[in-house]
Amino acid sequence: MALANEIKDSIIKKILEARYFSVILDCTLDKSRVEQMSLIIRCVDITVSPIKVEEFFIQFVIVDDTSGFGLFSKLEEVLGDLGLDIDDVRGQAYDNGANMKGKHKRVQKKLLDVNPRAFYTPCSCHSLNLRWEILKKFVNGLTLKPLCATRWESHIESVRAVRFQTSKLRDALVHLSNVTQDSMIRCEARSLVENEIESFEFLFSMCIWFNLLNIINAVSKFLQLEDIDIDIAFSRLEELINFFNEFRETGYDSCKKEAKELALELDVEPVFPEKRKIHRLVHFDDLGVTAADDDQNLSAEQKFRRYYFLYIVDQGAFQLKERFKQFQDYKEKFGFLFNLKKHLSGDEGLKSCCMKLEGFLRHDMRYDIVGAELFNELLVL
């Protein structure tokens, strides 16, 4: 404990010398189902040469109230205990929980109400119950992975393990259902085979998710690089949005082709089972065809395309566009600092950027920089 306190004190000293810092929060349940909030502080370490940006894990905090107000109050309390001024926060980043990043009543908004210069930056998320011995006998490639509640990126690894070992997993489940004496395990194994793995809809869904998560994961990892250039990051986000738009038009057919190949390997008929249509009695005063009537006229595959494939793609595209807007706002404020050479070709353009930054960093007649002085320093550099 004494050693931990000594390390924490040295970290706090570095933060105080830097003065300005960003907070990164993440909430998750521990094994005892208690909600914990991890606090990480990011600052410029000016105690080393050359100076560099560092991230320091500070502590876990037990939280009883997980509302936006409760989490903000806990953050405010912890920063006070550490001797850090909440008015010196210049950045905040969280997971995608609504209680964290919401614009109206969440932590982001509560902090901005107290300190408008704490700019928000978005963070760039059922396991098969098999006996390990049987699994190793049939599956010797990718290990099955559980879904992580806090890191959605782990989902691609979970999907990949099933996507490229589907037949082996099916064989393992069939064997398990034949040898186990536990009726519950036997029923679950058979259900997974008959209702999931040997379902064309399941195979089709798996191909869709793998293709989407694979490209998203690649871009996400790129955006997490330490030396990421903001212009390149912006470009990669644009490419990802374009991918979603293209995938909406062509992804269905390409994933269907993959699913058919997978179905052929598993000897599964590549069709969607049609449900019995319910014919509604039409009265003389009915006004036109309702949405429910329209659904009745759709085939099972058409419903899958409309309510599953298009819904997933459109939701993903919407979320990406929201992130893109957030990065646009960040780039508008600080982007010129990442590419000074482009702005040095025109002094007036650079000076304008510096003056705007002065305005962004001003609050109640207090400000961090003087735009004209920053402009002169950048010209000298």
Percent of the chain scoring above 70 in pLDDT? 80
- Do 45 and 18 share a domain, yes or no? yes
State the average pLDDT over residues 58-68.
82
Q: In which domain, by residue range, is 358 found?
A: 339-380
Model confidence at 125: pLDDT above 50: no
- Do 293 and 206 share a domain, yes or no? yes
pLDDT at 16: 93
- pTM of the predicted model, to two decimals? 0.65
- Do 220 and 312 share a domain, yes or no? yes
The domain boundary, picked from 301, 326, 351, lies at 326
- 235 burial (CB, 10 Å; 0-12 / 13-18 / 19+) is exposed
Amino acid at 294: D
Measured in whole angstroms, the distance separating CA 261 from the mean position of its chain's CA atoms is 31
Identify the band that residue 13 occupies on the pLDDT scale cut at 50, 70 and 90. Answer: very high
How would you classify residue 4: left for phi > 0, otherwise alpha for psi between -120 and 50, otherwise beta? alpha
Asked if the structure places residue 333 within a domain, the reply is no
Model confidence at 187: pLDDT above 70: yes
- Do 184 and 280 share a domain, yes or no? no
Model confidence at 108: pLDDT above 60: yes
Identify the band that residue 127 occupies on the pLDDT scale cut at 50, 70 and 90. Answer: very low
The domain boundary, picked from 88, 104, 120, lies at 120
Asked if the structure places residue 332 within a domain, the reply is no
pLDDT at 123: 59
CATH assignment at residue 52 = 3.30.420
Asked if the structure places residue 316 within a domain, the reply is yes
State the average pLDDT over residues 9-29.
89
CA–CA gap between residue 246 and residue 8 (Å, rounded): 49
The more confidently predicted of residues 131 and 7 is: 7
* HSE value, Cβ hemisphere, 13 Å, CA-based, for 98: 1
Identify the band that residue 334 occupies on the pLDDT scale cut at 50, 70 and 90. Answer: confident
pLDDT at 33: 66
Identify the band that residue 198 occupies on the pLDDT scale cut at 50, 70 and 90. Answer: very high
Asked if the structure places residue 314 within a domain, the reply is yes
* CA dihedral sign, ordered 329, 335, 336, 341: negative
- Do 252 and 222 share a domain, yes or no? yes
The more confidently predicted of residues 58 and 143 is: 58
Asked if the structure places residue 334 within a domain, the reply is no
**Do 164 and 142 touch, CB atoms closer than 8 A?**
yes
Among the ranges given (66-70, 149-153, 167-171), the one the predictor scored with the smallest mean pLDDT: 149-153
Asked if the structure places residue 133 within a domain, the reply is yes
Model confidence at 132: pLDDT above 60: no
Model confidence at 153: pLDDT above 70: no
Query: Residue 75's CB: how many other CB atoms inside 10 A?
Result: 22
Looking up tokens 């395309």 gives 305
Q: How many residues does the chain have?
A: 381
- Do 75 and 102 share a domain, yes or no? yes
- Do 178 and 273 share a domain, yes or no? no
Among the ranges given (176-180, 242-246, 296-300, 351-355), the one the predictor scored with the smallest mean pLDDT: 296-300
The domain boundary, picked from 155, 175, 194, lies at 194
- Do 224 and 302 share a domain, yes or no? yes
**Do 338 and 311 touch, CB atoms closer than 8 A?**
no
Asked if the structure places residue 18 within a domain, the reply is yes
- Do 319 and 210 share a domain, yes or no? yes
- Do 216 and 308 share a domain, yes or no? yes
- Do 209 and 170 share a domain, yes or no? no
The crossing angle, in degrees rounded to 10, of helices 200-223 and 230-266 is 160
DSSP string, 155-179: HHHHHHHHHTSHHHHHHHHHHHHHH
Identify the band that residue 373 occupies on the pLDDT scale cut at 50, 70 and 90. Answer: very high
Q: What angle do CA 133, 137, 143 make, to 5 degrees?
A: 80
State the average pLDDT over residues 146-173.
78
Structural domains counted in the chain: 4
pLDDT at 291: 53
CA–CA gap between residue 279 and residue 287 (Å, rounded): 17
- Do 271 and 368 share a domain, yes or no? no
pLDDT at 137: 67
State the average pLDDT over residues 259-275.
91
Identify the band that residue 129 occupies on the pLDDT scale cut at 50, 70 and 90. Answer: very low
Asked if the structure places residue 244 within a domain, the reply is yes
Mean pLDDT score of the chain, rounded to an integer?
Answer: 81
